[in-house]
Amino acid sequence: MKAGCGVVAIFGAGFCGGVFCLLYAISHIIPLAEGWKSEESKAFVLKHFRGALNLTPEQTEQLRPIVDEALEKRWQLRRDYLAESRRLLEEDYLPRVEAILDESQKEKAHRLMERWKRQQGGKLNPSTGAVESNSSPLATPNEPPTPPPAEKP
């Protein structure tokens, strides 16, 4: 009986430790990765390289413009990808789907699409590169979320 309690205690401690690490990653590390253009994110990447590679202060300063350029290019790629994804969905695929639907199904399809975009909750902030919630994940920078279509009586 005592051995079984010890095993349960060890697995319980491991589970709690795993949950703590996951929550830490979600609250601290992932936001830094999402804010690709922010100074805090750049500092995070530099600190990671400095610690992992035992860089000297001089090497760290030489690495700074490389990190800045890499994060800027990654942000541009992500912005372009999201814009193209939105275009594909709205211009290429939705019209093909609408072609096989009746009017009431088309309205419902539009409502479903808008709800899906709102639920995805992510729009790139062009100044920080961070993903903001409560807007279309496929929106291009500086574009407001599309309101749902008005319901017909």
Q: What is the pTM of this model?
A: 0.48
* Residue pLDDT, tens place only, 43-89: 888 998 999 999 999 999 999 999 989 888 888 888 888 788 878 88
* Residue pLDDT, tens place only, 128-146: 444 454 444 333 344 444 4
Measured between alpha carbons, how far is residue 22 from residues 41, 92, 131 in Å? 19, 38, 20
The label of the residue with tokens 């350029």 reads 69
CA gap 81, 64 in Å, rounded = 26
Domain layout of the chain by residue ranges:
17-132
